[in-house]
A and B are shown apart, each in its own frame.
Chain A
Amino acid sequence: MALTILSISQLNFYVKSVLETNEKLRSVYLKGEISNLTDHQRSGHIYLTLKDEKSAVRAVMFAGSAKYLKFRPENGMTVLVRGRVSLYEATGAYQVYIDDMQPDGIGALNLAFEQLKKKLSAEGLFDEAYKKPLPTLPKKISVITSPTGAAVQDISRILKRRYPIGEIVMCPVLVQGDDAAGQLTDAVEKLNRLQCADVIIIGRGGGSIEDLQAFNDETLARAIFASKIPVISAVGHETDFTICDFVADVRASTPSAGAELATPDLQTMYADLAYFQEKLSERIHSRITFERRRLDELSKANVLRSPLEAVDHMRIRLDVLSRSLMLAYSAKLSEEQKKFAGINAKLDALSPLKILSRGYSITMRGGEAVRSVQSVGMDENIDVILSDGTLKCKVILPVPKKSTETKGTTGNEKDF
């Protein structure tokens, strides 16, 4: 019996064909934990190891299948996979070729939702700081929703009742199905490009997570984040949350609530107007009343009632002043007169004429009074002035007084 020697390639080819022809291995369902995950961004192929407590197996998911994944596989994640078993001839390793993969326990969509929420949240797309305030009186309210759904009916009804002055800009789109997310995104971008809305309501009625899937789209989330126009997310019912709700400026629990958040109530607007109007009349009336009272006060004032009164007052004052002036003047005058009379009397007493009249005389020489006998010589001409005229005299002999007899002589002269 001759030995059959096989090449490695032949062996691998043979084992591969055995595996591939086995009915049980053609379609297997496996549950395992992901490890050694390599996600090739370029090719889109995913390579990983599936393991349990004891064993592990290599697995691959090619791009053609991987693109349908609703979530991103991660190391440590327990997954359910459907695939076939084959052998990679180049390494001789047998592996599982995965057609579909689901997260274990939680649905794929739920997981995808949680993953996207975490990712966008980490990027800051949900931050309060980026939330734009809604306009108080929007002129144009854009509604992005299905033209046939209940949401558009609810929104239109509420806007008509609450805010008929606004213009509704309708963006009819698909809200579920493969094209929905793209159409929703386009609508948000178009409204921004055309600048034809002051506020956007984006939404649809309630449904399962599959129905709301379009509102969990990452591209839509980024378009809403980038929107310059404030966006109100109004998806599903109160309990439904979508990525759209988190990234929008305001989340409304339902489309009807969205319409209410977008607009003020007409009744409130009427009330505001009434308030303003009341304030206007109140202010102008109180102002006019105030002016009237001021006018009353002014017209009561005496100056307006008898304009000459002021003149009279001035005249009286003038009279008082001029009288005071006269009094002060005459008092001063008499005082001066008295003072003058006193001086006059003194002056009179000192006058040389008065002394001459009492028998004294003044001896003059050359216009100067002679005070000493020694100042004149013999035969000099002198004038002796008396009270009633002058004696032209010639000195016969100056006789000086003996100095000791000065007093006696004076007394003698008096006796003459």
Chain B
Amino acid sequence: MKKTFDYEKSVLRLEEIVQLLENGELSLNQSIKLFEEGTKLSAACYDFLDKAEQKITLISEISDTEE
């Protein structure tokens, strides 16, 4: 899960959900689904930030595997 988690995409989606809910043009059912999705995303983002540990890679390690 942590490897595939994309913080930037998640935050963008979260922002989008908030905007959709602000517009208020959705059905109640859709609103609740989005709210649930948003809550999950926000929790995942918090979790990602909380657990973040800086990873340091040397360029030589990258080039070794890719060249």
Partner-B contacts on A (CB < 8 A): 136-137, 139, 142, 156, 159-160, 164-172, 187, 190-191, 194, 196, 266, 269-270, 272-273, 276-277, 279-280, 283-284, 287-288, 291
Contacts and interface: CB of A to CB of B under 8 A. Distances in A.
Given A276-B38, A287-B21, A287-B31, A168 B45 contact: no
B39 A280 contact: yes
Contacts of A194: 59, 62-63, 66-67
The bracket for how many chain B residues form the interface is: 20 to 34
Nearest to B6: A139
Interface in B11-62: 11, 14-15, 17-18, 21-22, 24, 28, 31-32, 35, 38-39, 42, 45-46, 48-49, 52-59, 62
Interface of B: 7-8, 11, 14-15, 17-18, 21-22, 24, 28, 31-32, 35, 38-39, 42, 45-46, 48-49, 52-59, 62-63, 66-67
Contacts of A159: 54
Contacts, number: 97
Nearest to B12: A137
Contacts of A270: 46, 49
Contact of B39 (A136, A164, A196, A277): A277
Given A270-B49, A283-B22, A167 B56 contact: yes
Given A165-B52, A266-B49, 15 more contacts: A136-B8, A137-B11, A164-B53, A164-B54, A169-B62, A170-B56, A172-B59, A194-B62, A196-B59, A270-B49, A273-B42, A276-B14, A280-B39, A280-B42, A288-B28
Contact of B55 (A168, A276, A277, A279): A168
A117 B27 CA distance: 60
B59 A168 contact: no
B52 A276 contact: no
A190 B45 CA distance: 32
